[in-house]
Chain A
Amino acid sequence: MLDTTRAVEVPEGITLSLPVAGYVSRALAFLVDLIIRFVIFIGLSWIFSIFDRLGDGLLLLSVFLVEWFYPVFFEVFWLGQTPGKKVMGILVVNDDGTPINWSSSIIRNLLRFADFLPAFWAFGLISMMLNRDFKRLGDLAAGTLVIHQREVISPQSNHDAEGLAPKTPLKLDEQSAIIAYSDRIERMTQARADELARYLTPWLQNSQGNQSSALQIVRMARWLKGRREKE
């Protein structure tokens, strides 16, 4: 099964799947950061212009510092996110899923220089396109991954139905499918919702009489979520 997640096993024996972020979201995050840095430089040159030639020197120094350490600073102190990454909902972590630290952040950001070659970050671009984990050269050297933040989908279900116990014990993925059905039913057309429910009709309780299969599944989801009784 093709997917863009990478499995990481933590010492507790749990396997996490990290959704790796690819070229498009990363490039856009980079563009946002580029614009922010540009604005910073304009602001600084405006401030330093007061100091005449000393200001020129100070500006050059601050350009150096911002250009090289802007990403490092944010990645270390802002849980792996620069402002651009925050906008795109991505973050940098180590290959094993742990938060990024000073050394890996410095390595991956110093190597932006290698990714820049021969012009306009072309090597980084090609590397991100061809690498299975969408890593650029800096990521390969530092052992870091850029991943998507999880999006929390708020359930829209406002059914006030009583919970209904499934007839047979269900496996984990089956339970989550039933809960997903109940969470997303509002966003489906009625026809599609009924069509999906019909797959389970033979198994659903006949004693519920005139209740539709869809409603029974929604009630089952409520039961699985722990709402066994009517409140």
Chain B
Amino acid sequence: MNLEKVTAKIRPRKQWEAIDLGVALAQRNLISLYKIWLIVTFPVFLISALVFHQYGMWVVIGFWWLLPLWERPLLHFLSRDLFGERLSVKQCVSAFFSLAKIQWFASLTWRRLSFTRSLDLPVIQLEGLKGNVRSSRLKVIHSIGSGAAVWLTFLFFFTKFTLFIATIVLAYLLLPAPMAEGLDFFEWVNFEIESPITVFSMNLLFYLSMSFVAPFYVACGFSSYLNQRTQLEAWDIELAFKRLAKRLQGLNEHASVRLSSFLVGSLLSILVLSSSVFSPSIYAQQNEPQTDNITSQNENVNSHQKAKKLIIKIKDGNEFHHREMESLTVKRDKDTEIDDSFNSRRSDSGWMSLISMFVSFIVEFALWLVLAVALIFLVVKYRHLIGGLKLPQQTKKQKPKTLFGLDVQSDSLPKDPWQVALNSIERNEFRSALSLLYRASLVWFIEHTSINIREGDTEAECLQKILRLGPKNSHQFMRDLTRTWRALAYAHIAPSKESLVELCHKWPAIMAEKIDSGDANAKV
């Protein structure tokens, strides 16, 4: 038994979780397990059912009693599979007789009704223990808890009946009514009908229900056994330590380290081999060398992997990803006769058609109404996408109080700012004149157009907004004004007196009080 070859995740699990691993284990090998099961048991069942047909259900009870024997080849397969060794179905079937011999008498008599059968089977079959050694070993295995194994047996026993009855009910439900009428369902289930065909089919059904369950039961018992040993012997830690040791050995390629670990390794293998606690039969069989096959197998594996890579590469190519979609409408009822009959039925009674017309009219009206509402909703919601349909803005735009340190509230301005500015120019107070003019212009845009100037905006941003949304005749003026203002305010370059006076004179024409705001809005 080589733990490193294990094909299932080894970790300590709850008992119930361990059972679930068994189901997964059985799922992985389901086809092989059923093959083995059917090849071993079906001939036996068939012959006994034919020979002992007058004994009715005793055939299947007898078969059920022999279950411990039938389960062994399944366990044989599963235990090898878990450690990476694929046995063929043939190998397992031919091993049946040698496996069935192991403690067969005890298994079929006083141990037959043991509830922990599934958990105990690996101890006798894989570890090969007998007598007192076996029972003390079982005590150890059960010490972690065998409750789950008991419930497992209990539950699977009833699962067989469930499947058996369900299959009969299904058949009963699917029978055409006239055939089913003559049958008494409960007589059927209770084997009260003497007809040999019925008896045989009932036996067969129960055999099939048992067959469905058997691989799962064996696998669940085996996985609980594995879990008990994982917990007792810390298999997961062994694996992790081995990996760690390997990695560390790779890290320091030191001769002495290698030597010592080699010594320890060989010492260990001697120890392990001589230890009687561990399953000798597994070791013996797993250690059989197969050196002849190894090289050829390796080559096979290599070419196989190459081929796999190539397949994946080709599958990823464009050739395999070409998709086309075609759709066509086919009338479901091609038969015009059906249509005719439908129509004739409709015209059968006048008032019926009247009601239906009325109803259809209401429904149609309602549908049109829904459509109209939906359209209106869409138009209102996306009106900003449709030019010219813009409704007046509901929210009043926020007016900034100051911009870059300038007070831009309209009541802080004189009535005719350009006149005041001209006066300042006369007194050579360029800065206050220009600032007043600029401020007044901004206030005008804020008050009279829809341009939304926010408090954080800079002069350049204001200009951009004005150029985008403001009235056209103001563009050049605002460009000049802003440039002059920025040069004076930030670069301290004084403008010429004439240009300032010119700006002042232009101002009243452009910032005419009564420019209608609709003009500005229309350009939005």
Contact = CB atoms under 8 A, between A and B. Distances in A.
Interface of A: 1-5, 19-25, 27-28, 88-90, 118-122, 125-126, 129-130, 132, 134, 148, 151, 153, 168, 170, 173-174, 176-177, 180-181, 184, 187-188, 192, 195-196, 198-203
Contact of A130 (B27, B151, B234): B27
Closest 6 CB pairs of A and B: A122-B166, A177-B240, A22-B20, A3-B9, A118-B170, A2-B8
- Most central of B237, B243, B245 by chain A CB within 10 Å: B237
Interface stretch (B175-183, B256-264, B284-292): B256-264
Nearest to B143: A187
Contact of B233 (A121, A126, A188): A188
B503 to A, nearest CB: 60
Contact of B241 (A3, A129, A153, A196): A196
A177 B216 contact: no
Contacts of B17: 4, 19, 21, 148
Contacts of B162: 119-122, 125
A208 B260 CA distance: 17
B16 A2 contact: no
A170 B245 CA distance: 11
A199 B242 contact: yes
Contact of A203 (B27, B165, B245): B245
Contacts of A134: 20, 23
A187 B159 CA distance: 36
Nearest to A21: B20
Nearest to B161: A120
- Most central of A89, A125, A187, A203 by chain B CB within 10 Å: A203
A23 B20 CA distance: 7
Nearest to A174: B244
Contacts of B152: 24
A2 B25 contact: yes
A25 B261 contact: no
B241 A200 contact: yes
Nearest to B242: A199
B237 A3 contact: no
A1 B16 contact: no
B19 interface: yes
B13 to A, nearest CB: 8
A188 B231 CA distance: 9
Contacts of A196: 234, 237-238, 241
B8 A25 contact: no
Given A3-B21, A132-B27, A196-B241, A119 B159 contact: no
A20 B20 contact: yes
Contact of B16 (A24, A129, A177): A24
B234 A184 contact: yes
B204 interface: no
Interface string B222-266: 000000000111101110111111011101000001001100100
A24 B14 contact: no
Contacts of A25: 16, 19-20
A168 B155 CA distance: 50
Given A22-B19, A118-B166, A203 B248 contact: yes
Nearest to B6: A1
